[in-house]
Structure 1
Amino acid sequence: MPDSPARRLVVAITGATGAVYGVRLVQQLAATQGIETHLIVSDAAVLTLHQELGMQRREVEALAHVVHKNRDVGASIASGSFQSDGMVIAPCSMKTLAAVALGLSDNLIARAADVVLKERRRLVLMVRETPFNLAHLRNMTAVTEMGGVIFPPLPSFYHKPESIDAMVDHTVGRVMDLFGVAHTLAPRWAGMKAASDAQPDT
């Protein structure tokens, strides 16, 4: 039998704004040795990819090792016997969040997420919406209580990003940290560097 990869990660891209996070994550994983990526792109995500990035489905799918159709609920990743390190939904729409929170499993993205939760693996949802209503907050609470990680892709500014790409890379790097995947996407926090002339209030 052929040697299996050391690690597998499932990545799903839904129709929420922020398609760049999913694309950048898949690009980085593809360039990381020993990681096999399994990708699902929803129909709504195809529209967002074109609107925000000018990309076609086939361009994004070409970045992954294995591609699954969202309607294929019989795919390998729909079973707990499929070994993986977990799953990232980047970005995660409120519809997909609700499906995961309620265990609907009505498409492959929701089913694969359900499998990751039931097998006690890591599930990261990069939820995209603002402001949140009560249903959103309750669904995020439910997923957290089931062991999932709610990870809104909020930019940080302490590293003084000079571009949108730098902000995206920093966030994607933090997600990769959650799976213990090495990267050099952004500088690490080394502590507060106060100005030399700054004095505490007395």
Structure 2
Amino acid sequence: MRIVVGITGASGSIYGYSLVRTLSELGVDTYVVATKMGAQVMQFECGVKIEELKKYATLLDNQNLFASVASGSFLTDGMVIVPCSMNTLGGIANGVGDTLLSRTASVVLKEQRKLIIVTRETPLHLIHLENMTQLTRAGAMIMPAAPGFYHRPTEIWELVNFMVARILDSFGIEHELLARWGEKEGSR
């Protein structure tokens, strides 16, 4: 399996960081494209420099439109943008592909591969919602970073793992990040 992970400047970079590490642990061939603000927010929120992700994935330059993931002939199982800023979401929804991240998202859509957009912004205004609707119509899945609480989390990592698990589920990737609804408690 091969997945591209986009990381933008929205708050919530812990989701992207955790996803990349988990994909690596599960043996998934992972490519990471981060915006400049995405790298800065990850450093600020997680204390992690974007270069650290080279331990877990192939890190690509967001300005390099010659990168393999910018072409539909480079086969992937899809892309996750986590977290996705409203600026990036708006650009992708309106066909702007001027960076590697937005170009790759456009390629994933045109090739009818899986595109998951994990939004974190709140509250949302009408233009945000219309952009999400437009992307959903184009084939993307909008997945707000809104973890559930039925698994009774007691630590932040349980909330993060909930969202990472939902992303993995969407790609059909097996994992043991959390107990599923109806499973015995403590079976995680």
TM (norm. structure 2) is: 0.95
Deviations 1:43-84 (A, max 9, x none): 0011111111111121123321x2210001111100100101
Match of residue 60 from structure 1: 53
Give unmatched runs, 5+ long, in structure 2.
none
1:155 matched to which residue of 2? 147
1:23-42 correspondence runs (5 A):
23-33=17-27, 35-42=28-35
Given the alignment of the two structures, is residue 22 of structure 1 paired with residue 16 of structure 2, yes or no?
yes
Give 2:75's aligned residue.
83
- Give me the CA root mean square deviation: 1.2
Tell me how far apart the structure 2 counterparts of residues 38 and 46 of structure 1 sit (CA, whole Å).
15
> Are residue 10 (structure 1) and residue 39 (structure 2) matched?
no
TM alignment of 1:129-144, pairs within 5 A? 129-144=121-136
Counterpart-to-counterpart distance in 1, 2:49 and 2:60: 16
Secondary structure of the residue aligned to 1:112 is: helix
Contact 2:8–2:82 under 8 Å retained in 1:
yes
Structure 2 counterpart of 1:49, which letter?
M
> How many residues of Structure 1 are paired with residues of Structure 2 in the alignment?
184
Q: Tell me how far 1:120 sits from its aligned partner.
A: 0.4
Counterpart CA distance in 1 for 2:55 and 2:16 is 13
CA distance in 2, matches of 1:119, 1:69: 22
2:115 aligned to which of 115, 123, 144: 123
Partner amino acid, structure 2, of 1:128: R
1:146-188 per-position Cα deviation (integer Å, ceiling 9, x unaligned)? 0000001101111100111001101110110000011101110
Within 2, Cα distance between the matches of 1:67 and 1:89? Answer: 14
Tell whether the 8 Å contact from 2:51 to 2:59 is kept in structure 1 after alignment: no
Answering whether residue 97 of structure 2 is matched by residue 102 of structure 1, we say no
SS of aligned partner of 2:132: helix
Structure 2 CA distance, aligned partners of 1:62 and 1:111?
25
CA contact (8 A) 2:13 2:83 kept: yes
Q: For 2:46 and 2:167, locate their aligned partners in 1 and report how far apart those are by CA, in whole Å.
A: 21
Computing the radius of gyration from Cα coordinates, the structure with the larger value is 1
User: Once the two structures are aligned, what percentage of the paired residues are identical?
Assistant: 43
d(CA) in 2 for partners of 1:152, 1:50: 22
